[in-house]
Structure 1
Amino acid sequence: MALSRLEKAQVWLFKAVMGLLFMLFRLFSPKASTSMSGKKLPPVSDPLLLASATQLAKKIRRKEVSSVEVVRAYIDRIQEVNPFLNAVIKDRFDAALQEASQVDKLIEEETGGEEVLEDRLPLLGVPLSVKESFALQGMPFTTGLISRRGVVATVDAPPVALLKRAGAIPMGVTNTPELCMWCETHNHLNGITNNPYDLERIPGGSSGGEGSILAAAGAVMGVGSDIGGSIRMPCFFNGIFGHKTTPGVMSTENQYPPCTGRHGEYLSSGPMCRYAEDLRPLLKIMVGPNAHMLSLNTKVDLKKLRFFTIPHDGGSMLTFPISKDLLEIQRKVVQRLEADLGVEVQEVSFPELRYSFQIWNTYMGLPDDNGKPPQAFSELMGEPGRPVWPVWELLKWMIGKSEHTLAAITLALIEMTASKPSPFILEQKEKLQKQVDELLGTDGVFLYPSHPRVAPKHHHPLFRPFDFAYTGIINILGLPATQCPLGLNEEGLPMGLQVVAGKLQDHLTLEVALFLEKTFGGWRDPGAK
């Protein structure tokens, strides 16, 4: 009976908060802009934009195309689509062209041959986009916070530095939600970012700018981070590939906000791209000296893996049910795995998944080993000044005077009501962790929805705030996951799912991504639909 009362209290609180939010949003939010209504992205016309990063690097090394030509093609595409998307918030086009010219000169003078260049500079001359929460020297480093306006990165975040060292050329930085803690990419410093498949829908968050510009063919490879789904949700909503690395393998230094409390156990960085063949080489570069930990050079025979499918979270009262089209596409994936590989895909369920949000929320608030709790969100919202007062910010928001979004203010308000960790929720997590680890071992993968619905309309996540639990629980379990596109639904919106493996078994999900791309077609040009 105690459990039933807990669930009823959660549902009551959920309905009360959502009702209040809905009322406030309808009363006080500005009218939605219709400037993008009915508009659609222009299709890709330059064939250079349809080559993978791996293919472009090879063409550049072989002098089949110059780096300047490639960089110019991407500059033209960004200038063509960004007015529709607001994904790239600061470019470095002039510097990129200069660097591309230097690349072409280096290739002309290289006497060691193509193999030497491939080994030393595997991404030489290939354009790169970077999520603005990663430090990119000389670029804004604000994470959408007005109080950080004017903050410029003086160094490169380690994954960015490693990609640059491999020859990649950064084109600019992309938009994020305020402080990266929301599933819609919107802030009052840089504005709102649109989904290229439907400009009135969200691209996800917090790597939403990356997801949007990549899907629009304004970038070929990018850098994202993920503490609750911030790589996988944008990749899902935008129909591209993305990988959440096993946590602790790739450096999270020089990102903002920084890791505090136990956040370092759940935050992962990883590659985002349109083509599955780019995932493994990008990841190998981004993890640097720790690449051996992920067995990325190990050949994977999919027919020898154990496959599982989990169609939904078991009926959480906080998340919406999985839509019919997503349930159906996951069933089709199961059918193709069994038919093409001759494997058996076993359907499994874990009752503990019903508490995914509560588990994520509880563990995000736990102190580190020294007893120090994570930095309060209200403190981050006020930096470099004093912490904000959430109630006051809500009142200011109602009259259009707050520098913060309603999503950020709501998160700060919820933080004020935080209670001690529930022993029941801690127990559910430990049970789930043990069962999942035993299920997967070193040769198991499972299929799991990334979200209950395809990309929602702008601002609608305010009324469905817990749906990210489908991705967030994977962070708390410490597992690697690859987001894979699976074509478009009847509305022309991307579908997909996440493929999850045991800790440090990232190479397994990357191999499954290659199979799913070949089977379901991978990325689709949003301008061609």
Structure 2
Amino acid sequence: MALSRLEKAQTWLFRAVTSFFFMIFQLLSSPAASARKLPPVSNPLLLQSATQLAKKIRRKEVSSVEVVQAYIDRIQEVNPFVNAVVKDRFAAALQEAAQVDKLIEEETGGEDVLEDRLPLLGVPLSVKESYSLQGMPLSTGLLSRRGVIASVDAPPVALLKRAGAVPLGVTNTSELCMWLESHNHLYGLTCNPYDLERIAGGSSGGEGSILGAAGAVIGVGSDIGGSIRIPCFFNGVFGHKTTPGVVSCENQYPPTSGTQHEYLSSGPMCRYAEDLLPMLKIMAGPNAHKLSLNAAVDLKKLRFFSVPHDGGSPYSYPVSKELLDAQEKVVKRLEADLGVKVQEVCFPELRYSFQIWDTYMGLPDEEGKPPLAFAELMGEPGRPAWAFWELLKRMVGKSEHTIPAILLALFEKTHLSKPSPFIIQQKEALQKKMEELLGTNGVLLYPPHPRVAPKHHHPLFRPFDFAYTGILNILGLPVTQCPLGLGEEGLPLGVQVVAGKLQDHLTLAVALYLEKAFGGWRDPGAK
């Protein structure tokens, strides 16, 4: 379906205005600092999956203390570059690792008993700061919450700890988890390990960055608009947005309101694809049986589809040629290796992705209560923030809030009191088409973003590009973000792998295949 004249005019005007301000921003920006590069990985323990590390620890081929110390050393080596870990618990982690080694020495039931009861025994873990991790800060980058300390563990964190994982600390987020760059005035700016002048994504940007920098092997993220997938894409690692309602999202900050709980997912982030499934089994807890995670997947029997772009939304920029080419390489490799036919499809409704996401995020709950205004969350624990006043303060460097947070609070004031029937219709049509297409054995490829990791603060001029991930939250589909090597500028390429509801095991199986086919994570220090 061709764009209407009005949509073409909207697209041209939107891009002209943002390009103008972007040009002014570049002219006023200070010259870039001399390029710095992360040191390459030198300890071989850092180049093994969590699954492999757990096996070696159980077999006493390496101690948990050695593994935990290796990751502590790496964090201390790379964190001054990337600013990903914002609060550590290294001393406690080493004590817990020593207890793990003692438990293994005293275990009489054998390796199989340990694997069944404690599958991640002794393996280091990093946690997004918006998750409650007992004894650690729970501010989500809000200065007014700088003194808030978590008194309990969020359920997915508790389950991973119960499986033997050893938390090393918490990682940076965007302010209140509602922006695609992890930057706030409490912890500062997180950088991309492949290029320190680039963003690490958000809101799980600290997780993505420390994983990409080999300062962590497994981590925990949350995703309501791409907050797992965008950082995983930008930092060249794997991440999974689960089917909503399977992994608990309790004890996170900020809390959901309205109908937002229907679109929020907690999920695993990791450097190696083989860790996705065991992590998800653990994090899903009593709901794991809903996902058929033990079912064998024959990739040759799946139906594959590819959607190269959103069809030309006036809000998002066109997908870059290198990402289109990367997805096409996946298509050709699938066809050559598996003997399948990957069908290219298009959904005209995708051009309304941002409007759909924005509309559904603002819907009231069953009792008619609307979601909390972002300005209310910004003012917590006091009165709601006055966005226009905060903007004036920001201009003279006095506001405690970031520009994206202030602009979001201002943007909320433009919302219509009632959702557009047209947008509701587009979403319902897209939902029906997508579910009919995928069924229980369909897999779809879709770009995670229109471009590779942009430079710091540049998303201000392309604020709606996250719609490529956000639309899949509203559709409630499971998605695995998979790296596809490095592009022209040495930055990670990637693709979203989508399946039908509760068919998470299909996308995880494809992730294993893509890791073998395209090499998975790459050491940023070895570029």
TM-score, structure 2 as length reference: 0.97
Give the match for residue 277 of structure 1: 274
C-alpha separation between the residues in 1 aligned to 2:329 and 2:199? 26
- The correspondence of residues 384-395 of structure 1 with structure 2, limited to 5 A, is 384-395=381-392
Do 1:188 and 1:404's aligned partners in 2 also have CA atoms closer than 8 Å?
Answer: yes
Deviations 1:145-185 (A, max 9, x none): 00101110000000000000000000000000000000001
Give the match for residue 493 of structure 1: 491
| Secondary structure of the structure 2 residue equivalent to 1:242 | strand
Tell me by how many angstroms 1:472 deviates: 0.3
C-alpha separation between the residues in 2 aligned to 1:79 and 1:335? 41
2:372 is aligned with what amino acid? Q
- The correspondence of residues 245-264 of structure 1 with structure 2, limited to 5 A, is 245-264=242-261
C-alpha separation between the residues in 2 aligned to 1:432 and 1:393? 38
Give the match for residue 143 of structure 1: 140
Q: How many residues align?
A: 524
- Aligned residue among 37, 45, 62 for 1:40: 37
Describe the shift of the 1:204–1:498 C-alpha distance in structure 2 as closer, same or farther (beyond 3 A).
same
| Secondary structure of the structure 1 residue equivalent to 2:195 | coil
The 10-residue stretch of structure 1 (18-27 or 65-74) with the greater mean CA deviation from structure 2 = 18-27
C-alpha separation between the residues in 1 aligned to 2:6 and 2:370? 25
Question: Is 2:389 the partner of 1:404?
Answer: no
Tell me by how many angstroms 1:8 deviates: 6.3
Tell me by how many angstroms 1:22 deviates: 5.0
Give the match for residue 461 of structure 2: 463
C-alpha separation between the residues in 2 aligned to 1:13 and 1:106? 65
Percent identity over the alignment is 80
- Aligned residue among 21, 28, 52 for 1:55: 52
Give the match for residue 66 of structure 1: 63
Please, what is the CA RMSD of the aligned residues?
A: 1.7
Describe the shift of the 1:325–1:15 C-alpha distance in structure 2 as closer, same or farther (beyond 3 A).
closer
Do 2:14 and 2:314's aligned partners in 1 also have CA atoms closer than 8 Å?
Answer: no
Do 1:21 and 1:462's aligned partners in 2 also have CA atoms closer than 8 Å?
Answer: no
Tell me by how many angstroms 1:268 deviates: 0.3
Deviations 1:2-26 (A, max 9, x none): x958636854884597479659967
2:508 is aligned with what amino acid? L
Describe the shift of the 1:378–1:21 C-alpha distance in structure 2 as closer, same or farther (beyond 3 A).
farther
TM-score, structure 1 as length reference: 0.97
Give the match for residue 521 of structure 1: 519
Describe the shift of the 1:6–1:415 C-alpha distance in structure 2 as closer, same or farther (beyond 3 A).
farther
Give the match for residue 360 of structure 1: 357
Give the match for residue 171 of structure 1: 168
- Aligned residue among 113, 121, 126 for 2:118: 121
Give the match for residue 472 of structure 2: 474
| Secondary structure of the structure 1 residue equivalent to 2:119 | coil
Deviations 1:242-277 (A, max 9, x none): 000000111110000001011101000100000000
Structure 2 portions without partners, runs of 5+: none
Do 1:220 and 1:273's aligned partners in 2 also have CA atoms closer than 8 Å?
Answer: yes
Give the match for residue 85 of structure 1: 82
1:355 is aligned with what amino acid? Y
Describe the shift of the 1:255–1:13 C-alpha distance in structure 2 as closer, same or farther (beyond 3 A).
farther
Give the match for residue 434 of structure 1: 432
1:173 is aligned with what amino acid? V
C-alpha separation between the residues in 2 aligned to 1:95 and 1:199? 30
C-alpha separation between the residues in 1 aligned to 2:394 and 2:16? 20
| Secondary structure of the structure 2 residue equivalent to 1:164 | helix
Do 1:215 and 1:238's aligned partners in 2 also have CA atoms closer than 8 Å?
Answer: yes
Describe the shift of the 1:309–1:101 C-alpha distance in structure 2 as closer, same or farther (beyond 3 A).
same
Question: Is 2:309 the partner of 1:298?
Answer: no
Describe the shift of the 1:521–1:22 C-alpha distance in structure 2 as closer, same or farther (beyond 3 A).
closer
Deviations 1:455-513 (A, max 9, x none): 00000000000110000000000000000000001211000000000000000000000
- Aligned residue among 500, 503, 508 for 1:502: 500
Give the match for residue 7 of structure 1: 7
Tell me by how many angstroms 1:409 deviates: 0.5
- The correspondence of residues 91-102 of structure 1 with structure 2, limited to 5 A, is 91-102=88-99
C-alpha separation between the residues in 1 aligned to 2:323 and 2:5? 31
C-alpha separation between the residues in 2 aligned to 1:81 and 1:432? 43
C-alpha separation between the residues in 2 aligned to 1:486 and 1:357? 26
Do 2:11 and 2:315's aligned partners in 1 also have CA atoms closer than 8 Å?
Answer: yes
After the TM superposition, list the runs of 4 or more consecutive aligned residues in structure 1 that deviate by more than 3 angstroms. 3-27, 31-35
Describe the shift of the 1:130–1:191 C-alpha distance in structure 2 as closer, same or farther (beyond 3 A).
same
Deviations 1:163-216 (A, max 9, x none): 000000000000000000000010011000000000000010000000000010
Deviations 1:120-158 (A, max 9, x none): 000000000000000000000000000101110000000
Describe the shift of the 1:151–1:311 C-alpha distance in structure 2 as closer, same or farther (beyond 3 A).
same
- Aligned residue among 441, 444, 454 for 1:443: 441
Give the match for residue 230 of structure 1: 227
| Secondary structure of the structure 2 residue equivalent to 1:527 | helix
1:374 is aligned with what amino acid? P
Give the match for residue 424 of structure 1: 422
1:443 is aligned with what amino acid? N
